[in-house]
Amino acid sequence: MKKPVRIGIVGCGVIAQYHAKALAGWTDAQIVAVADLREEAALRTAADFKVGKVYTDPHTLIADPEVDAVILALPANGRTELGIAAFRAGKHVLTEKPVAMNAQEVGLLMAAQGQRVGACCSSRHRFTETARIAAEFMASGALGKLRHLRCRALCSAAPAREKMPPIWSWSRKLNGGGVLMNWGCYDLDFFLGTVGWSLVPRQVMGSIHGVSPQFVSQLPPGSDAESHAIGFIMFDGNVTMAYERAEFYSGKDEAVWEISGAEGSLELALAPRDGPLLIHRHISMKGDLKEKVLWGGPDSWLDIHNGPVRDFVMAIRENRQPRTNLKQALVVAQISDAIYTSAATGKTVQIN
């Protein structure tokens, strides 16, 4: 029997607790060390999950010879330096989302990776039953030639939040951006992964908008990132994507994910919800609309939370690629960068 993969977790905030829970009691992996600049947070996590080693310097954890793999669960602005250090120390690396501040940083991670596994938590929503069935359906070619992908995911500002979101999620300095970095990586990973990472982006137009003045009081002081991102992406093969994601939206909630082809369309759901999660629609030869529910649920939040870290461990043990690797995460980052650049310049951005 193979020895368990020995894991070190850097960053002991909320998301690290989900990773630790996913690994707790699992024979394929063992958490052997945790690190956080806040010693009390590291000590608390170590006590909760019976971890023997506690560090306040993440570089010390990375240098520990008893650590095989590192999970980077800290804000994006600190991940790239530590990821490069971990790869150079011979460790496998799982990064939280977004994988880095921009595509250039993803490239630096790839350059340092070598033969080690580099995995990304932007894959989280592709571990549901919806995602599995959708990927198999798309691979079957049932929609014919792919034409268009559509995402319109809007989260209303009403009712007002009782709990203020963390500052990192609304800080360009800490996270590289706002809603596009926090949720766009999930949306793009979900779509691109569902179609087998077959799409190559070439041109992007985009715009971003800050939070409306009437909602500023619901955000932490110093918040400067966008709350509304819009993009139009042209891929090779004349395939397009219309993308829109917003938080603190001034209208009602809306959630649409759809893939259309020459012979039909597929309605998807990114996250668990009530009602059908996967619907295939096409027009029959008689001209009437045919609709079939491929999967009605339920999906599990447990799969979403456990998926990336368990897949990371098994990728190491089986010497295979994870659900989303760094090369694929680079494509997501290139699209996000292009939306920001287009928004700033008012021009179409080319992706080579």
CA 9 – CA 39 distance, rounded (Å)? 14
| 7 neighbors 29 (Cβ within 8 angstroms) | yes
Radius of gyration (Cα) for the chain, nearest Å? Answer: 21
Per-residue pLDDT 10s for the chain (352 aa) are 589 999 999 999 999 999 999 999 999 999 999 999 999 999 999 999 999 999 999 999 999 999 999 999 999 999 999 999 999 999 999 999 999 999 999 999 999 999 999 999 999 999 999 999 999 999 999 999 999 999 999 999 999 988 999 999 999 999 999 999 999 999 999 999 999 999 999 999 999 999 999 999 999 999 999 999 999 999 999 999 999 999 999 999 999 999 999 999 999 999 999 889 999 999 988 889 999 999 999 999 999 999 999 999 999 999 999 999 999 999 999 999 999 999 999 999 999 8
Strands 264-268 and 118-120, bridge-based pairing:
unpaired
Question: CB neighbours (10 Å) of residue 142?
Answer: 15
Of 3.40.50.720, 3.10.20.90, 3.20.20.70, 3.30.465.10, which CATH number belongs to 5-124+304-324? 3.40.50.720
Q: Across-strand partners of 69?
A: 7, 92
| Residue of 21, 2, 25 whose CA lies nearest to 12 | 21
H helices of the chain, in order, are: 14-23, 39-49, 58-63, 79-88, 103-113, 129-139, 172-175, 179, 185-194, 301-318, 326-345
pLDDT at residue 135, as a whole number: 98
**Domain residue ranges in the chain:** 5-124+304-324, 126-299+333-350
Of 3.40.50.1220, 3.30.70.360, 3.90.1010.10, 3.30.360.10, which CATH number belongs to 126-299+333-350? 3.30.360.10
pLDDT at residue 1, as a whole number: 56
| Residue of 290, 240, 295 whose CA lies nearest to 273 | 295
